[in-house]
């Protein structure tokens, strides 16, 4: 592995859009710090440290209240860095783990106590060496008693071949970054139509309307993303999540300005009602359900 990379903006702007109080950044990661939490020997990229203090400073700068920290592939199946960040958050972060399918029930229990509420299955060949569907399904069954959900990351090209696997998952499913559609095809393009058909196949498939920087080939201000994604948010408003994706793994050649990313929110969720669902109600139901039960 060569030099460590910096994939985030070093001086992000303060957004013009003010998130509603209690807003959740429901997709972000931490890297290290490496001296305490070494990266996996199988990591496909080696980043500089982007630890909890940096994440919480960004949360405050952007006007968010909470984070959902998704275990990044560079940390493999050792969730210590993610758990460390959650522990340092004063209850303002929860997480999604990546686990070795051989994990014991006692270890799953420990992850739950540490604030983990889901497991991630990653199918991107550039990020992981293998993605054993049969083992993942076993894990999906074993997490059911904890009330966790499954987060799946795949690309649009394999959506159809993913269907039987997704159908067999017994828990709620969240699809990362909408399964990476080509947003330049527009809201009615082939990729968006296929993705909508997947959402229509099960009411408990949710998605993250994230990563304009990864998905919009024309770059900021990400007009193609806004145009393709706004109708999706309106039509599936009770099952969409939003996140920064900070520290933007592998985006070192085009690090997005996090303030500008936040400013896309009112373009994809134009009303206060949609913004509250996207940024508060939906993520709270998944990650802090105990705080929402009394009011529902
Ligand atoms: O597209 C990516 O490179 C990417 C990588 C990771 C990770 O390394 O975990 O997470 C993401 O959400 C996106």
CB of residue 28 inside a 6 A radius of ligand 1: no
Give the whole-angstrom CA distance, residue 156 versus residue 244.
21
Between vectors from CA 49 to CA 44 and to CA 53, what angle results, nearest 5°? 135
DSSP assignment, residue 271?
A: S
pLDDT of residue 293: 76
d(CA 126, ligand 1 centre) in Å? 10
Q: Which atom of ligand 1 is nearest to the CA of 177?
A: 12
Angstrom CA distances, 265 to 19, 262, 287, stand at 9, 6, 20
Per-residue model confidence as pLDDT tens digits over 87-136: 999 999 999 999 999 999 999 999 999 999 999 999 999 999 999 999 99
CB of residue 282 inside a 6 A radius of ligand 1: no
In degrees and rounded to multiples of 5, residue 104 shows phi and psi of -85, 165
Per-residue model confidence as pLDDT tens digits over 25-55: 999 999 999 999 999 999 999 999 999 999 9
Q: Which of 29, 46, 179, 255 to mutate to test the pocket of ligand 1 (most atoms within 8 A of CB)?
A: 29
Exposure string for 49-78, b = 16+ CB within 10 A, e = fewer = bbbbebbbebbeebbbbbbbbbbbbbbbeb
Residue 31 in tokens: 């890297």
Percent of the chain predicted with pLDDT > 90? 98
Percent of the chain predicted with pLDDT > 70? 98
Whether 262 shows a pLDDT value over 80: the answer reads yes
**SS3 category, 95:** strand
Residue 218 in tokens: 């024309």
Residues 6+ apart with CB under 8 A from 125: none
Q: Verify cis geometry, omega within 30 degrees of 0, for the bond prior to 221.
A: yes
pLDDT of residue 123: 98
Give the whole-angstrom CA distance, residue 77 versus residue 69.
14
Of 180, 153, 177, 183, the residue nearest 165 (C-alpha): 153
Q: Which of 127, 211, 241, 242 to mutate to test the pocket of ligand 1 (most atoms within 8 A of CB)?
A: 127
245 assigned to active site? yes
CB of residue 249 inside a 6 A radius of ligand 1: yes
d(CA 64, ligand 1 centre) in Å? 21
Whether 292 shows a pLDDT value over 70: the answer reads yes
Q: Which atom of ligand 1 is nearest to the CA of 45?
A: 8
Q: What is the mean pLDDT of residues 242-265?
A: 98
Whether 230 shows a pLDDT value over 90: the answer reads yes
pLDDT of residue 3: 87
pLDDT of residue 266: 98
Q: What is the mean pLDDT of residues 59-72?
A: 98
Determine contact, residues 175/194, Cβ cutoff 8 Å.
Answer: no
CB of residue 176 inside a 6 A radius of ligand 1: yes
Determine contact, residues 62/22, Cβ cutoff 8 Å.
Answer: no
pLDDT of residue 296: 46
Give the whole-angstrom CA distance, residue 98 versus residue 179.
18
Catalytic residue among 25, 49, 216, 245: 245
Per-residue model confidence as pLDDT tens digits over 207-216: 999 999 999 9
pLDDT of residue 2: 63
Q: Which of 250, 254, 256, 261 to mutate to test the pocket of ligand 1 (most atoms within 8 A of CB)?
A: 250
pLDDT of residue 140: 98
Domains of the chain, with CATH numbers? 24-295 (3.20.20.140)
pLDDT of residue 268: 99
Per-residue model confidence as pLDDT tens digits over 135-189: 999 999 999 999 999 999 999 999 999 999 999 999 999 999 999 999 999 999 9
Q: Which atom of ligand 1 is nearest to the CA of 251?
A: 3
d(CA 237, ligand 1 centre) in Å? 24
d(CA 249, ligand 1 centre) in Å? 5
Give the whole-angstrom CA distance, residue 193 versus residue 44.
31
Q: Which atom of ligand 1 is nearest to the CA of 245?
A: 12
Give the confidence band of 294 by pLDDT, cuts at 50, 70, 90: low
Complex ipTM: 0.99
**Which residues are bridge partners to 5 per DSSP?**
47
Residue with CA closest to ligand 1 atom 2: 249
Determine contact, residues 223/260, Cβ cutoff 8 Å.
Answer: no
């Amino acid at each position: 592995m060569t030099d460590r990379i910096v994939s985030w903006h070093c001086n992000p702007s303060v957004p013009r859009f003010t998130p509603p109080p209690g807003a959740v950044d429901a997709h972000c990661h931490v890297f290290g710090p490496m001296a305490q939490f070494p990266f996996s020997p199988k990591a496909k990229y080696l980043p500089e440290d982007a630890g909890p203090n940096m994440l919480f400073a960004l949360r405050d700068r952007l006007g968010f209240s909470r984070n959902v920290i998704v275990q990044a592939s560079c940390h493999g199946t050792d969730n210590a860095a993610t758990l460390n960040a959650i522990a340092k958050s004063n209850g303002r972060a929860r997480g999604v783990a990546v686990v070795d399918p051989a994990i014991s029930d006692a270890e799953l229990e420990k992850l739950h106590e540490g604030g983990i509420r889901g497991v991630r299955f990653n199918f991107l060949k550039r990020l992981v060496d293998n993605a054993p569907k049969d083992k993942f399904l076993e894990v999906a069954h074993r997490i059911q008693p904890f009330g966790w959900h499954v987060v799946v990351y795949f690309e649009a090209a394999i959506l159809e071949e993913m269907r039987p696997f997704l159908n067999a998952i017994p828990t709620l499913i969240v699809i990362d970054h909408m399964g990476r559609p080509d947003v330049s095809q527009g809201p009615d393009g082939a990729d968006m139509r296929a993705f909508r058909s997947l959402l229509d196949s099960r009411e408990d498939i949710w998605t993250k309307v994230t990563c304009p920087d990864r998905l919009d080939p024309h770059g900021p201000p990400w007009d193609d993303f806004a145009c393709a994604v706004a109708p999706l948010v309106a039509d599936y408003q009770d099952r969409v999540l939003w996140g920064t994706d900070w520290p933007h793994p592998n985006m070192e050649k085009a690090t997005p300005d996090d303030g500008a990313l936040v400013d896309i929110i009112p373009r994809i969720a134009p009303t206060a009602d949609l913004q509250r669902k996207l940024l508060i109600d939906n993520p709270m139901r998944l990650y802090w359900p105990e705080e929402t039960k009394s009011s529902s």
